[in-house]
């Protein structure tokens, strides 16, 4: 169902919450929660959304900043997606993409640059120094170096 919410009143991510149909034109800034499907024409900015789907008849000329993007239509503009961008035929993307995961199916078109951002994983790096024979540093200095590096 379109626009349904769970028992707490929040939109369900697996269902389309908003829809811009074929033959519809919209211009401006758009924000949304959950999943948004765009089959019409849109010019402007799209940001702060979860999942954006551009259907085969969708034509988007916009700066896009969402969690994930699926393109089956036409998108012109720079894209930043926190998790992934998928382009399927007859989809066409013209512009730069920043995302950790990019999927381009055979027959789809991508013209631009792509930056595959690393997903920030929190890991601790340990730095330690070994006392070498002839090293003038004492044991107390070694402990201080380890503390300063966050170990």
For residues 117 and 100, the answer to whether their CB atoms sit within 8 Å is yes
What pLDDT is recorded for position 146? 45
The C-alpha atoms of residue 47 and residue 29 are separated, in whole angstroms, by 8
Average pLDDT over all residues of the chain: 78
Enumerate residues 6+ apart whose C-beta is below 8 A from 53.
16, 35, 36, 37, 38, 69, 70, 72
* pLDDT band for position 130 (cuts 50, 70, 90): low
Neighbours of 70 (CB within 10 A): 20
* pLDDT band for position 18 (cuts 50, 70, 90): confident
The C-alpha atoms of residue 41 and residue 23 are separated, in whole angstroms, by 7
0.75 surpassed by pTM: no
* pLDDT band for position 29 (cuts 50, 70, 90): very high
Neighbours of 95 (CB within 10 A): 17
In 3D space, the residue among 46, 49, 35, 23 whose CA is nearest the CA of residue 95 turns out to be 46
Determine the Cα angle at 13 with ends 112 and 49, to 5°. Answer: 40
Instruction: Name the 3-class secondary structure at 131.
Output: coil
Determine the Cα angle at 83 with ends 119 and 49, to 5°. Answer: 130
Q: Which two tokens stand for residue 150?
A: 């966050």
Enumerate the domain spans of the chain: 16-115, 121-151
* pLDDT band for position 148 (cuts 50, 70, 90): very low
pLDDT, mean of residues 4-9: 43
């Amino acid at each position: 169902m379109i626009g349904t919410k769970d028992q707490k009143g929040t939109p369900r991510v697996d269902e389309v919450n908003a829809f811009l149909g074929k033959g519809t034109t919209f211009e401006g800034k758009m924000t949304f929660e959950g999943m948004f499907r765009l089959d019409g024409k849109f010019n402007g900015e799209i940001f702060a959304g979860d999942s954006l789907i551009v259907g085969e008849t969708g034509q988007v000329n916009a700066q896009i900043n969402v969690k994930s993007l699926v393109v089956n239509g036409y998108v012109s503009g720079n894209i930043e997606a926190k998790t992934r961008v998928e382009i399927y035929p007859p989809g066409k993307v013209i512009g730069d993409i920043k995302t950790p995961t990019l999927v381009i199916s055979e027959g789809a078109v991508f013209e631009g640059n792509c930056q595959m951002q690393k997903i920030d994983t929190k890991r601790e790096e340990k730095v330690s120094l070994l006392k070498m024979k002839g090293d003038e540093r004492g044991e107390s200095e070694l402990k201080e170096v380890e503390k300063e590096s966050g170990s």
